[in-house]
């Protein structure tokens, strides 16, 4: 019988090796124990405890309201389920941008209280001091460029980023700065595929795309979107593997019907 000790864990080094040998990295969000168990056992390389929990778990319109305590709660639930995947946790809005000492305190809380393996934060040069300070404490950092949802009120819309030359140039420079600082990987969200490819080819750390085309080192999706739990969200980049909203709703409707008709429980479903 295999034990958890036999499982070869995915580490930040594993991801670098995967990039070197051209093996694509799979990454998916998870926020709770039950789903994280399934994601881990499916063989996902990276589980992201994304601040998209603010949307899909808590029902907020943006990722801004979720707190550090709430992210730690989700991350600790995921960590209790995971035996193999690398677990990366988003630093929520307002916990790392203004003050690098606060950024380090936030990252340490995530690592200590959830026992996650790495943190992710959004932005390039403007958060470099925070990135450096967190890295100096030995905490692995994943960057996030392109569409950065925590800045939605600056952008105004969720449309494709870096279509213009200046923004594209800045994005490439930021990717290099984050690599030089020591980030182990980057997420690039919703940018033209050609630009994402250029970034992936110009740095040696893995670039994981969402809405960034095929020529990057891996892909990430939000679980509720790819399972079709969240029916309202259907951007072009999303591939739906299920229509769980309707399937689950159907099960609930059948249960209600069975209760009302006294079909449930039957003789074999009672003591
Ligand atoms: O919070 C999140 O789910 C993310 C992904 C969209 C990359 O940051």
State the burial class of residue 67 (Cβ atoms within 10 Å of its Cβ: 0-12, 13-18, 19+).
middle
- Rounded distance from Cα 257 to ligand 1 centre (Å): 38
pLDDT in tens, 147-159: 999 999 999 999 9
- What mean pLDDT is predicted for residues 264-270? 98
Atom of ligand 1 nearest to the CA of 208: 7
Grade residue 2 by pLDDT with cuts at 50, 70 and 90: very low
**Residue nearest atom 4 of ligand 1, based on CA coordinates:** 50
Measuring from each residue's beta carbon to the nearest atom of ligand 1, which residues come in under 6 Å? 29, 48, 50-52, 90, 187, 189, 210, 220, 222
Average pLDDT of the chain is 96
pLDDT in tens, 62-75: 999 999 999 999 99
Q: Token match 């679980």: residue? A: 223
Question: What is the per-residue pLDDT for 231?
Answer: 86
- Rounded distance from Cα 213 to ligand 1 centre (Å): 16
Pocket mutation for ligand 1, best pick of 220, 226, 235 (most atoms within 8 Å of C-beta): 220
CA 269 – CA 271 distance, rounded (Å): 7
- The fraction of the chain above a pLDDT of 90, given in percent, is 96
Question: What is the per-residue pLDDT for 79?
Answer: 98
Atom of ligand 1 nearest to the CA of 120: 8
- Rounded distance from Cα 52 to ligand 1 centre (Å): 6
Pocket mutation for ligand 1, best pick of 50, 55, 65 (most atoms within 8 Å of C-beta): 50
Atom of ligand 1 nearest to the CA of 63: 1
- What mean pLDDT is predicted for residues 218-225? 98
Residues present in the chain in total: 271
The yes or no reply on domain 4-240 and CATH 3.20.20.60 is yes
Which of the following is catalytic: 129, 189, 232, 269?
A: 189
To the query of whether residue 129 is one of the catalytic residues in this protein, the response is no
Q: Measured on CA atoms in the order 261, 267, 270, 271, is the torsion positive or negative? A: positive
Q: Is the pLDDT of residue 184 over 80?
A: yes
Question: What is the per-residue pLDDT for 7?
Answer: 84
265 versus 1: the higher-pLDDT residue is: 265
Question: What is the per-residue pLDDT for 3?
Answer: 54
CA 148 – CA 188 distance, rounded (Å): 9
- Rounded distance from Cα 258 to ligand 1 centre (Å): 39
Atom of ligand 1 nearest to the CA of 122: 8
Atom of ligand 1 nearest to the CA of 187: 7
Pocket mutation for ligand 1, best pick of 51, 211, 221 (most atoms within 8 Å of C-beta): 51
- What mean pLDDT is predicted for residues 171-188? 98
**Residue nearest atom 8 of ligand 1, based on CA coordinates:** 50
Decide: 185 and 14 in contact? Cβ < 8 Å. Answer: no
Instruction: Tell which residue, 219, 259, 256, 253, has the closest CA to residue 239.
Output: 219
pLDDT in tens, 199-218: 999 999 999 999 999 999 99
Question: What is the per-residue pLDDT for 5?
Answer: 63
Q: Is the pLDDT of residue 114 over 90?
A: yes
pLDDT in tens, 120-137: 999 999 999 999 999 999
pLDDT in tens, 27-63: 999 999 999 999 999 999 999 999 999 999 999 999 9
What are the beta bridge partners of residue 221?
A: 28
- What mean pLDDT is predicted for residues 223-237? 94
């Amino acid at each position: 019988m295999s034990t958890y000790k036999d499982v070869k864990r995915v580490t930040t080094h594993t991801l670098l090796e995967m990039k070197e040998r051209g093996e694509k990295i799979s990454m998916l969000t998870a926020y709770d124990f039950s789903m994280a168990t399934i994601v881990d056992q499916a063989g996902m390389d990276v589980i992201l405890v994304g601040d998209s929990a603010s949307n899909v778990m808590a029902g907020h319109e943006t990722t801004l309201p979720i707190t550090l305590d709430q992210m730690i709660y989700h991350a600790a639930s995921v960590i209790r389920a995971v035996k193999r995947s690398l677990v990366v946790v988003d630093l929520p809005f307002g916990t790392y941008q203004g003050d690098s000492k606060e950024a380090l305190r936030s990252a340490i809380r995530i690592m200590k209280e959830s026992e996650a393996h790495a943190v992710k934060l959004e932005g390039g040069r403007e958060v470099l001091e925070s990135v450096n300070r967190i890295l100096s404490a030995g905490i692995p950092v994943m960057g996030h460029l392109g569409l950065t949802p925590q800045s939605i009120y600056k952008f105004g819309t969720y449309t494709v980023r870096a279509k213009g030359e200046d923004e594209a140039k800045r994005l490439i420079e930021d990717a290099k700065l984050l690599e030089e600082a020591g980030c182990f990987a980057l997420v690039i969200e919703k940018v033209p595929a050609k630009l994402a490819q250029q970034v992936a080819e110009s740095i040696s750390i893995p670039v994981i795309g969402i809405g960034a085309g095929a020529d990057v080192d891996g892909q990430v999706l939000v679980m509720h979107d790819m399972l079709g739990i969240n029916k309202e969200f259907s951007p072009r980049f999303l591939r739906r593997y299920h229509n769980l909203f309707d399937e689950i709703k159907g099960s609930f409707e059948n249960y209600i019907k069975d209760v009302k008709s006294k079909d449930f429980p039957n003789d074999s479903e009672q003591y």
